């Protein structure tokens, strides 16, 4: 399937899955090193009700409604965490656990009770995304990559996640030195005049933007996996941050490509008749890569 069929049916999902994986893995490197890896999981839990409410209010799935809804949900979650911590006299970890779980459950309940049949927004798509349905109907082979009319018909999710990936790369590139210093030695960063707290907040916002952009196309399963698995596996391969970044990009790309192929053809190779979820398989492959790194990577004992 190298010709027109591949370009129309498989190229867009492959690119979207790969771009989403890399966009989440890049900020994930810093979150893992800061011991904040589960922030990606928290973001995925919090943004769901915000995205659903944004759709119910505006009646459409768009970049700005989704971003504003997710931002509003994040603010509400912060207020709820503080309220539960103060009134319940529990630690912040317990308050976050209650808040994130309750908000995700509320988002799922809203999806079940609201009419979202006109768009790709339901429980299945929230968890697993809709990679398989993101096809390029106007494609007529590789020549369509140079056809402006055909390019205009690309799935909007591809454009959205591509722009997000460029923004994430630009953020890391522009703030590379202060990010690196504040990640490894926050005290030294403050002594150098680097606003470590503000930088940490900017990193979380960047991760949240990547999660929101990827959420509609690939679902929360990939988002959570890619924030953790490629960066953690890369951390076991090297002690240098620059090399870790490249390793995480390689692992994220491998997970997306291999996972997509195995989801479509793996069951057939084993004698089955149906394919499986691409998002679920991509997350599974990323977990297998992390397991292999934990067993065989050169720096597994040091980490």
For 9-52, write each residue's pLDDT tens digit.
788 889 999 999 999 999 999 989 988 777 777 777 777 788 78
Phi, psi of 117 (to 5 degrees): -70, -20
| Cβ-based neighbour number of residue 272 at 10 Å | 10
Q: Quick one: pLDDT band at residue 250, thresholds 50, 70, 90?
A: very high
pLDDT value of residue 16: 92
Q: Give long-range contacts, CB 8 A cutoff, 24+ apart: 93-102.
A: 96/42, 100/41, 100/42, 100/45, 100/46, 101/45
Q: Mean pLDDT of all residues in the chain?
A: 82
Q: Quick one: pLDDT band at residue 114, thresholds 50, 70, 90?
A: confident
Q: By percentage, how much of the chain surpasses pLDDT 70?
A: 90
More confident residue, 166 or 84: 166
Cβ atoms of 108 and 48 closer than 8 Å? yes
pLDDT value of residue 80: 81
Token pair recorded at residue 145: 């990559």
Q: Quick one: pLDDT band at residue 254, thresholds 50, 70, 90?
A: very high
- CATH T-level topology, domain 4-219: ABC transporter involved in vitamin B12 uptake, BtuC (1.10.3470)
Q: Quick one: pLDDT band at residue 76, thresholds 50, 70, 90?
A: confident
* Residue 288 CA from chain centroid, whole number: 18
pLDDT value of residue 30: 93
Note the helical H segments in the chain: 4-9, 11-33, 39-58, 63-88, 92-113, 123-128, 148-151, 156-174, 176-184, 186-191, 196-235, 241-269, 278-296
Tokens 């923004």 sit at which residue?
167
Tokens 């499986």 sit at which residue?
276
- Alpha carbon distance 98, 111 (integer Å): 20
Q: Quick one: pLDDT band at residue 181, thresholds 50, 70, 90?
A: very high
Q: Quick one: pLDDT band at residue 237, thresholds 50, 70, 90?
A: very high
pLDDT value of residue 83: 84
């Amino acid at each position: 399937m190298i010709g027109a069929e591949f370009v129309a049916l498989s190229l867009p999902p492959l690119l979207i899955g790969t771009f989403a994986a890399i966009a989440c893995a890049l900020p994930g490197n810093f979150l893992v090193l800061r011991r904040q890896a589960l922030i990606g999981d928290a973001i995925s839990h919090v943004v769901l009700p915000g995205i659903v409410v944004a759709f119910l209010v505006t009646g459409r799935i768009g970049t700005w409604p989704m971003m504003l809804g997710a931002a509003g949900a994040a603010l509400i979650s912060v207020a709820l965490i503080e309220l539960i911590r103060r009134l319940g006299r529990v630690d912040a970890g317990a308050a976050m656990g209650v808040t994130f779980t309750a908000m995700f459950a509320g988002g799922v309940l809203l999806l079940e009770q609201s009419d979202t049949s006109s768009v790709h927004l339901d429980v299945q798509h929230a968890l697993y995304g809709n990679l398989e349905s993101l096809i390029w109907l106007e494609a007529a082979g590789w020549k369509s990559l140079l056809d402006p009319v055909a390019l205009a018909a690309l799935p909007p999710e591809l454009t959205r996640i591509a722009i997000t990936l460029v923004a994430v790369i630009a953020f890391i590139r522009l703030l590379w030195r202060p990010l690196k210093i504040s990640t490894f030695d926050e005290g030294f960063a403050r002594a150098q005049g680097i606003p470590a707290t503000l930088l940490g907040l900017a990193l979380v916002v960047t991760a949240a933007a990547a999660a929101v952009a990827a959420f509609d196309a690939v679902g929360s399963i990939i988002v959570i996996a890619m924030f953790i698995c490629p960066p953690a596996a890369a951390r076991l391969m090297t002690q240098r941050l620059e090399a870790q970044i490249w390793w995480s990009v390689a692992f994220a790309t491998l997970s997306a490509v291999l996972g997509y192929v195995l989801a479509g053809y793996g069951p057939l190779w084993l004698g089955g008749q149906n394919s499986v979820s691409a998002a679920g398989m991509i997350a599974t492959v990323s977990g297998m890569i992390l397991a292999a790194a934990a067993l065989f990577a050169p720096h597994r004992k040091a980490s």
